[in-house]
Amino acid sequence: MGQIILTTTIMGLSNMLGKRFDNDGKPTLKLNQLQARVKQQVDSKVAENRYVFEKVPCAICTSNDFETLSLKDRYGLYMPVVICKDCGLIQTNPRMSQESYNEFYNVEYRKLYGGQETPTNEFLVKQYGQGRLIYRYVEKYLNEKSDGCQLYVVEIGCGAGGILKYFYDKGCRVKGLDLGEEYIAYGKSVYGFDLSVGTASSLDVNDRPDLIIYSHVLEHILDPKSELEVIRQFMREGSMLYIEVPGIFNLAESYKYDFLRMMQNAHVYHFSLATLKNLMSSCGYSFISGDEKIRSLFEAGKSDAQIHNEIERVDYRKVMHHLRRVEFIRRVIPVYPNTVKYSLRRAVVLGLKKLGIYSAVKKGVWRLFG
């Protein structure tokens, strides 16, 4: 209760999405025994103030005008999530200090998220499949820049290196950096290529990559602007940066129409493509391509774009409209693919379309929750 009072005092609870977002400790996901034990361990550290929380301004526009969305994550851990009313960026605030996060990543993160004590071959196979998808996304742009030369690809937050293995198999020179010593050691023992413990600042300024990959990493970084500015020091003009993060407008496909499933205490930020582009342009990157999933590609170089829609708060209103709409759909007809309810919803939609009234009904419902 103390944590909820703290958040109420700091942020206000003026427009939460619903009671199920209260800090009641109940997980949305089914946890195995290891995950349940680790969750209890994190809860104890929060209650004992061993994990310290700090209030910060918006990472993009430095505003302090927030609206609270939730007080817990999908594991049932305390996690105050707010949206900036100026630029629309969703973020954890107050969030754990860097020192607290460092301990969390070292002690609990992999066990809580993966439900396993140690890295496995299954993890590498999953990473390799992700590498295939990333390569297909960037292949066209890489070919345009290769000039027949071997491409140099770096991944920050590479885990055990499975993503890089796909690029390696495609003839690229690769390097991976991660803070997880156990996963780096495991990847090196399997693959043998250049994996090491470190961060972006560990790169060699005289060996500039053609492509840097951040696959589900940027949302973890407490100060993304500083990280992106560090990365620019190691990129030449025209070097590309691939960023993949969970997309707030992709809740239906990736999170079964459930915003609460998206939230996890290690994720400090939750982006839309618009808020990600705002962040990147403020750090001097130009946009190449992207979608709301979010898979995106940026180029190192001067960007004239500026943070947009702050006065009109367009991005904030779009995100809030979307979250209310998704929560309404989840309450009325919980949508889980391959279930009877999902089939029922599809049947209703097809019926309304056949009658020619689907658009009118949809607009009417959305207008109630706009």
Q: Which of 271-280, 283-292, 304-313 has the lowest mean pLDDT?
A: 304-313
The average pLDDT across 299-314 equals 62
Report which of residues 347 and 215 the model is more confident about: 215
Rounded average pLDDT over 319-329:
89
Q: What is the pLDDT of residue 252?
A: 82
pLDDT mean over 278-292: 93
Whole-number pLDDT of residue 338: 46
Buried/exposed code over 59-96 (b: 16+ C-beta within 10 A; e: otherwise): bbbeeeebbbbbbbbbbbbbbbbbbbbbbbbbbbbbbb
Given a cut of 70, whether residue 261 has pLDDT beyond it is: yes
**Residue 116 exposure: Cα atoms within 13 Å on the Cβ side:** 9
Percentage of residues in the chain with pLDDT exceeding 70? 86
* pLDDT tier, 286 (very low <50, low <70, confident <90, very high otherwise): very high
pLDDT of the residue at 340: 52
Burial of residue 264, with CB atoms counted within 10 A of its CB: 0-12 exposed, 13-18 middle, 19 or more buried:
buried
pLDDT at 337 (0 to 100) = 47
One-letter amino acid at 65 equals: D
pLDDT category, 347, cuts 50, 70, 90? confident
| pLDDT at position 18 | 84
Highest average pLDDT, of 9-13, 323-327, 347-351, comes from 323-327
Residue 343 has a pLDDT of 63
Considering only CA atoms, which of 136, 135, 145 is closest in space to residue 238? 145
- Average pLDDT score over residue span 41-64: 96
pLDDT at 7: 39
Mean pLDDT computed over 349-358:
79
- Tell me, what amino acid is at 212? I
- Band of pLDDT at residue 354, cut at 50, 70 and 90: confident
Report how far apart the first and last C-alpha atoms of the chain are (Å, whole number): 32
Extents of the domains making up the chain: 2-114, 121-300, 314-368
Cα–Cα distance for residue pair 4/54, rounded to 1 Å: 14
Give all strands (DSSP E) within the chain, no chain letters: 53-54, 66-72, 78-84, 90-92, 95-96, 152-156, 173-178, 195-197, 211-215, 240-244, 269-270, 285-290, 295-300
- Which homologous superfamily is 121-300 in? Vaccinia Virus protein VP39 (3.40.50.150)
Mean pLDDT computed over 52-79: 95
Q: Does residue 25 surpass a pLDDT of 70? A: yes
Gyration radius (Cα) of the chain, Å: 21
pLDDT at 204: 87
As a residue count, the chain comes to 370
pLDDT of the residue at 344 = 66
Which pLDDT score, from 0 to 100, does residue 50 have? 96
Higher pLDDT, 311 or 115: 115
pLDDT score of 308? 53
CA distances from 117 to 130, 163, 184, 367 (A): 22, 21, 15, 48
Per the prediction, the chain carries an average pLDDT of: 86
Q: How confident is the model at residue 215 (pLDDT cuts 50, 70, 90)?
A: very high
Give mean pLDDT, residues 213-241: 93
More reliable by pLDDT, 362 or 308: 362
